[in-house]
Structure 1
């Protein structure tokens, strides 16, 4: 069992001598100078504290300071274990000095990791399960990095050196894609912003322009109106799982709603059989969307009560099968930077389709049909036209075809 005790540097001295903290743990010993000095004649060798004597009237306060140091080392050691870090003399010293300042314990000071733990618990009360999952994933990687570095990661260590080392860790050790790494950095910055606003963090190095969220344009696809018609024509009556998947996906393609919304349309959301009105789950925005004839047909098929959707992951699997049956197999080259290396693949379009393709298809097809961007953005929820234009998928050829109808080229 780990135990702290105090010893004198020179127990036989006639003058004041330093007091050392000794901490035995896991068959190892940590020695630390407390900075406190005492004449050995006032020292109790049995209790390892100052004697209760009138000759040294400040003994209660002196012993209280030693008790706080003992509590500090115990807290530091326990926190290292709780954070999954193997204690050693270096990180124990770092952890102890976080606990102490001028040998006065600061019990209310939160470390970076402790703040994240408490913030995640707090967020469970008002944030979605998906957000909490992201927080936990980021926290797990931070703890793994800390363990590999064999040191505590605290607020004062979050600087450009940490940033560069952590990027290398996520790329080389975790083999993550650039966009995934970007999400990790974005989340860490959100933790730091929250801690700063609460007065817990005073280190603002993370606000440097060099402490940036990296990203690269993702190779995503959309389905053209003609391709959607081919999917709609499929006879899937004998395969209910694919029939349901196809119908729900098409509703997404013609409403622009996210998976979490287009799978939750109820009869009360249908107004006069001409408009869908609902409040979106992710952004809590109220949207009004005209009913496309395909959506009307599908709603009629189910008497305005859509069937229960499969979970997103399973629906993505079924969806690839549906699009494959529609023979939408144009070869698409994809590029992704993963583990710091550029990976290129060529896949049939059917393998790249997911439930989110529905929303992207809606936005792109309406844009190509010359629907004003602002009208589409009212549904998709994009706040700026620049972010909207990055979202849609228009090839150079499609952009040229669209411009042919512009008065400038006629």
Structure 2
């Protein structure tokens, strides 16, 4: 016999979250949205029911509705077996809904755009501001595309034909780069996936391989140890704003931390006895331990272990270009970007390509070139696979060959 279990969609949420029915049978899992929502603080995970508490007085009726779901899936599964039918998720869904009939909690049928609006509002409570901003921007482009088509866009509209038309529209009408178009496709897939999880969407074309997120390797650069030494030696005391930016940037280059993390370092993060820094990263919540490089030690000593207040990321990006220009990092490079469906090549001075994120990429690349094991670097950068890590670092073919020259295979 199968086994039914109830699971909260977001068990750590501070607000109401959906309850899913999971039914396990024949080494398979059938997942079904009950349409019921509960604040996790009222949920008893051991008994798979709402807690019997005065703070949630409607618990008897709520648990009775969950009982109907559990009895319904058990009855549906038993009936399928009695009929001699091999059960699968599609058959289970049909039989469960037939079993529940009028007892099922019917969700109000939202259109795609109504759902996206609702999802964005919910996301403001649990997602980072930057993520919500991406959702809003992607939604605006979808609305503009609907106006362009002079027709509504709903769940069933999201087909491979839609995908091709939408990519062409974003690329030509709005002249967006391939990576920006890819970001909006990725967000659309997020909207569709979330709606599917909630039982609002039954169109799965967005899951097909051809409905892919576009991605073009960006012309990102890194700063070599020699270039970092040039920056370190700059005397910018006459320009306090640049001195501050220089020091913060170098901390990023020698710790591998993101801008949101290396600008928040304080004395509590420093373990002097071990010459280590420990930081819980804002993006992933992981705790990382980083050996203190000589440059970082000197900068921390300069500010009594409390780094100066940072400018905004945008201002830092502008000022760090000034710093790198003064340091003479003016090598001319050719940049390429696909925009409006066309490959555009542009000569650019290297200092103009430097941003706060260059610090993190420089850290990873310089350690890799110094033969530090990838797994050790990934423990700091947070990359989950070596494949994604190797895409992240910037090593030329010549640099790769130089590394291999000392490998035992080429010296045997």
For residue 208 of structure 1, report the CA deviation from its aligned partner.
Answer: 1.1
Residue 296, structure 1, aligned to residue 294, structure 2? no
Once the two structures are superposed, residues 359-409 of structure 1 have per-residue CA deviations (whole angstroms, 9 ceiling, x without a partner) of 000000000000000000000000000100000000011111111111112
Structure-1 residue corresponding to 2:159? 159
Q: Indicate the SS of the match to 1:308.
A: coil
Give the match for residue 351 of structure 2. Answer: 350
1:389 & 1:144 partners in 2: Cα distance? Answer: 37
Alignment of 1:257-406 (within 5 A): 257-272=257-272, 274-406=275-407
Q: Deviations over 1:76-123 (max 9, x none)?
A: xxxxxxxxxxxxxxxxxxxxxxxxxxxxxx981100000000000000
* Distance in structure 1 (CA, Å) of the matches to 2:288 and 2:169: 42
For 2:235 and 2:379, locate their aligned partners in 1 and report how far apart those are by CA, in whole Å.
34
Matches within 5 A, 1:32-71: none
Cα distance, 1:271 vs structure 2: 0.8
Q: Could you tell me how far apart the structure 2 residues matched to 1:331 and 1:396 are? A: 18
3-state SS of 1:261 partner: helix
Shift of 1:148: 1.0
Between the aligned partners of 1:334 and 1:356, the Cα distance in structure 2 is 17
Specify every segment of 5 or more residues in structure 1 that has no aligned partner in the other structure, as ranges. Answer: 1-105
TM-score, structure 2 length as denominator? 0.73
Structure 1 residue aligned with 2:211: 211
Q: TM-score, normalised by structure 1?
A: 0.74
Give per-residue Cα distances to partners, 1:141-171, cap 9 Å, x unaligned. Answer: 0000011111110001110111111011100
CA distance in 1: counterparts of 2:107 and 2:368, whole angstroms: 58
Distance 1:107 1:197 in 2: 13
Aligned to 1:79: none
Q: Provide, for residues 178-219 of structure 1, a one-character-per-residue CA deviation record: whole Å limited to 9, x for no partner.
A: 001101000100110000011000100111111111111111
Structure 1 residue 248 displacement after superposition:
0.3
2:125: which partner in 1?
125
Aligned pairs, number: 305
Q: Indicate the RMSD between aligned Cα atoms, in angstroms.
A: 1.0
Following superposition of structure 1 onto structure 2, how do residues 94-113 of structure 1 map, counting pairs within 5 Å? 108-113=108-113
Is 1:136 equivalent to 2:136 in the alignment? yes
Q: Which runs of 5+ in 2 are unaligned?
A: 1-105
Q: Which residue of 2 aligns with 1:231?
A: 231
The structure 1 segments of at least 4 consecutive aligned residues displaced by more than 3 Å after TM superposition are: none
- Give me the whole-angstrom Cα distance separating, in 1, the residues matched to 2:147 and 2:357: 36
Residue 244 (structure 1) aligns with: 244
**Separation in 1, partners of 2:270, 2:285:** 18
Query: Quick one: distance in 2 between partners of 1:233 and 1:397?
Result: 28
**Which residue of structure 2 aligns with residue 16 of structure 1?**
none
Where does residue 171 of structure 1 map in the other structure? 171
Larger Rg: 1
Q: Secondary structure at the match of 1:303?
A: coil
Deviations for 1:267-322, whole angstroms, at most 9, x for unmatched residues? 10001261110110011111000000000000000011111100001110000000
Q: Structure 2: how far apart are the matches of 1:121 and 1:206?
A: 23
| CA apart distance, 1:126 | 0.7
1:62 aligned residue: none
Instruction: Give 1:348 deviation, angstroms.
Output: 1.0
Distance of aligned partners of 1:232 and 1:208 in 2 relative to their CA distance in 1, 3 Å threshold: same
2:125 alignment partner, SS class: coil
- Per the alignment, in what secondary structure is the counterpart of residue 124 of structure 1? helix
